[in-house]
Structure 1
Amino acid sequence: MFPMSEVPRLVECRVCGGPAKRAITAPHLSIAGGSAFQLIDRTARSAHEPEVVDRLPARPKGAAQKVTTNPLHAKLPRS
């Protein structure tokens, strides 16, 4: 498979080594947007190159701490 802008004039057949004819197939279209592709790429990349975190990210100055009323959240560890 080649992008239409990069199609070579002649391609060798993988089976017999002779010249192969071009076959036009349906385009590979997707309903996913660019952000979905970024997420897929980032997920695939993180499988091989995970980002290592050794501490919590710094809280922006002036940012108020979020208060929760859920009693289950009281059991969570605090930093």
Structure 2
Amino acid sequence: MPTYRHHCVQCGAFDVIRPMRESGADATCPTCTAPSRRVFGAPALRALPAGLRGALDAQHRSADAPQVVTTPPGRSGRTQRRATDPRQLRLPRP
């Protein structure tokens, strides 16, 4: 079940675990039993896969200081195969 953060005016923030269908309902403070309203916060991103989390972190870092490219990128990891048939050697190359 999801965890929802609520804020009591007298006691401060506390968490409530309840079904999603009851997410909009106000909760009572467990300390003083006063009604409290739900507080919206950032999602729990720690549950993301490591690759996606790394990509989001890199995107965040590059927002303020993007990497500057000083040289054109190198060739791709593909290696060109040399033709073994002598007839293929006479073909035009791109």
Shared fold (TM-score greater than 0.5)?
Answer: no
Normalised TM-score (structure 1) = 0.39
Q: Is the strand fraction higher in 1 or 2?
A: 2
Specify which structure has the bigger relative contact order, considering alpha-carbon pairs within 8 angstroms and separated by 6 or more residues. 2
Normalised TM-score (structure 2) = 0.34
Q: Which has the larger radius of gyration?
A: 2
